A = this chain, B = another copy of it.
Amino acid sequence: MNYRKIPDETIRRLPIYLRDLTGFSQQGYKNISSKELSGHLGINPWQIRKDFSCFGAFGTCGVGYDVDKLIQQIKKILKLDTIHKAALVGVGNLGSAVLAYPGFVMYGFDIVAAFDNDPKKIGKKINKITIEDVSKIPSLKNKDVRIGIITVPRQASQQTADALVSAGVTGILNFSPCRIKVPKKVKVITINIALDLARLPYYMPAR
């Protein structure tokens, strides 16, 4: 195998594999074939094999893949083999939902701080985290927090991003419905629910 860069589309699929493989591991599976995985995920077996082949030969012919080895390898590729501390800004409806979201833990994320600018919310606790004033964002520098989650209204998103970047964050999960500008070093992934919903009618059958 040539060592090529792993395709972005493969990277997009890796967390999906990881999620289901973790499930299989907990059920006691030792090995799993691309065909079995395919049935679960709705991804073609050859696509799965191609994806896995990007990072070396892990399967045993006639048997399948070693589930736990695969999990370790995917975690290593995605750099999910260490705990990542994250901070959330904007504890409104969405922010609260994200704070309570159980899905983060399994990938090794730990939300260690939450900020808001509403005096009524400051000091309150959600999930053992005390909400602090946004002016305290710079304190993240001392906490080795590299990931920021932005769940503030659109108008405040850019300044929030700026504050997070200044505090040393290099990865941002942005829930604001707009693009934010950051230095090249910083990676932003934007999640916009409305954009996904807006595609739905196009794919729905005509009545």
Contact = CB atoms under 8 A, between A and B. Distances in A.
A183 to B, nearest CB: 10
Interface residues of A, number: 55
Given A179-B40, A197-B107, A197-B109, A187 B204 contact: yes
Given A19-B177, A177-B103, A196 B189 contact: yes
A126 to B, nearest CB: 10
Interface stretch (A10-18, A26-34, A116-124, A129-137): A10-18
A41 to B, nearest CB: 7
Q: Do most interface residues of chain A lie in helix, strand or loop, or is the interface mixed? A: helix
Contacts of A109: 197
A53 interface: no
Contacts of A198: 14-15, 18, 78, 80, 107
A79 interface: yes
A109 B12 CA distance: 28
A97 interface: yes
A106 B194 contact: yes
A178 B111 CA distance: 23
A91 B16 CA distance: 25
A73 interface: no
A189 B197 contact: yes
29 contacts: A12-B199, A14-B198, A15-B195, A16-B195, A18-B198, A19-B194, A41-B179, A78-B202, A79-B202, A94-B97, A94-B101, A96-B97, A101-B194, A103-B192, A106-B194, A107-B197, A107-B198, A146-B204, A146-B207, A147-B197, A147-B200, A170-B205, A171-B201, A171-B204, A173-B196, A185-B205, A189-B196, A189-B199, A189-B200
